[in-house]
């Protein structure tokens, strides 16, 4: 199989603090990882694309200084929400694409629910 | 600009086939049709994808019309656990830099 994990699965933090979310591909190497955000009753919105060893590419309207993405290895990407505010409360989901995939489907993590008080 | 159109919601009886339609009238020759689903409060799950031929796997069947302007995802024997939002996505996945963009999808409710 192709399993993607996220940690933590949920987090509650105070306004102004920073939160780091980890995304790991457990049984495959991922050259590309993606971060999505989903507000209640809405669809997933792509935030950024990260390739191992290079800077992330952010979608229009996503603040790169607020949502720091690091993709230091082929199995790990992290998203840090800096100076979080209540409007950042959301469901954050990562996905990973296999290296040299013949079948280019993406595999998604279970998501991380962030609540900022 | 929406590349696909799906009904907002559908209902299906448990044990019956669920047929989820998707219109993609502007699809180009090198674009694939992908289906994902998202069960409430979970990450999306890959179901199936195809280019022009019908496809079948252990989860579902994908029927693509000859002109490729529409497709239907078929869950042959729906169960309560198939209740989810189903997303039909059209992308050019032949290159290495494609991105999955999710529309609003179809909320399928399987009823006992």
A111 interaction partners in chain B (CB closer than 8 Å) = 41-43
- Kindly provide the b/e burial profile for residues B68-88, where b requires at least 16 CB atoms within 10 angstroms of the residue's own CB: bebbebbbeebeeebbbbbbb
pLDDT for A100 beyond 70: no
Q: What is the pLDDT of residue B1?
A: 46
Q: What is the pLDDT of residue B92?
A: 78
Mean pLDDT along residues A78-95: 96
Report the candidate in A43, A46, A42, A78 with the shortest Cα–Cα distance to residue A59: A46
**Which residues of chain B have a pLDDT value below 70?**
1-2, 93-97
Note whether B44 contacts A105, CB cutoff 8 Å: no
B21 at the A interface (CB within 8 A)? no
User: Percent of chain A beyond pLDDT 90?
Assistant: 74
SS (H, E, C) chain B: CCCCECCCEEEEECCCCEEEEEECCCCCCCCEEEEEEECCCCCCEEEEEECCCCEECCCCEEEECCCCCEEEEEECCCCHHHCEEEEEEEECCCCCCCCCCCCCCEEEEEEC
Q: What is the pLDDT of residue A93?
A: 97
**CB-nearest partner of A93 from B43, B104, B105:** B43
Mean pLDDT (chain A, rounded): 91
Note whether A108 contacts B44, CB cutoff 8 Å: yes
Q: What is the pLDDT of residue A106?
A: 82
- Per residue in A13-59, pLDDT (tens digit) is 999 999 999 999 999 888 889 999 999 989 999 999 998 888 899 99
pLDDT interval class at A62 (50, 70, 90): very high
B106 interaction partners in chain A (CB closer than 8 Å) = none
pLDDT for A103 beyond 90: no
**CB-nearest partner of A105 from B38, B49, B99:** B49
For the four alpha carbons of A32, A80, A47 and B48, in that order, the dihedral sign comes to positive
């Amino acid at each position: 199989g192709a399993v993607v994990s996220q940690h933590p699965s949920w987090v509650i933090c105070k306004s102004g603090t920073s939160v780091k979310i980890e995304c790991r591909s457990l049984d495959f190497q991922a050259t590309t990882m993606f971060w999505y955000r989903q507000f209640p009753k809405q669809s997933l919105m792509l935030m950024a694309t990260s390739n191992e060893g290079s800077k992330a590419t952010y979608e229009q309207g996503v603040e790169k200084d607020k949502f720091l993405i690091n993709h230091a290895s082929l199995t790990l990407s992290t998203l840090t929400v800096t100076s979080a505010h209540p409007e950042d409360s959301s469901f954050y989901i990562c996905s990973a694409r296999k290296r040299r995939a013949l079948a280019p489907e993406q595999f998604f993590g279970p998501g991380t629910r962030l609540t900022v008080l | 600009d929406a590349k696909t159109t799906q009904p907002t919601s559908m209902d299906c009886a448990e044990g019956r086939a669920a047929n989820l339609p998707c219109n993609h009238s502007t699809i180009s020759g090198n674009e694939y049709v992908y289906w994902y689903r998202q069960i409430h409060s979970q990450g999306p799950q890959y179901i199936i994808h195809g280019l022009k031929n019908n496809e079948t796997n252990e989860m579902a069947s994908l029927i693509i019309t000859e002109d490729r302007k529409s497709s239907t995802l078929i869950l042959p024997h729906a169960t309560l656990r198939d209740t989810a939002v189903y997303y039909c996505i059209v992308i050019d996945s032949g290159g290495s830099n494609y991105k999955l963009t999710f529309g609003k999808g179809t909320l399928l409710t399987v009823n006992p």
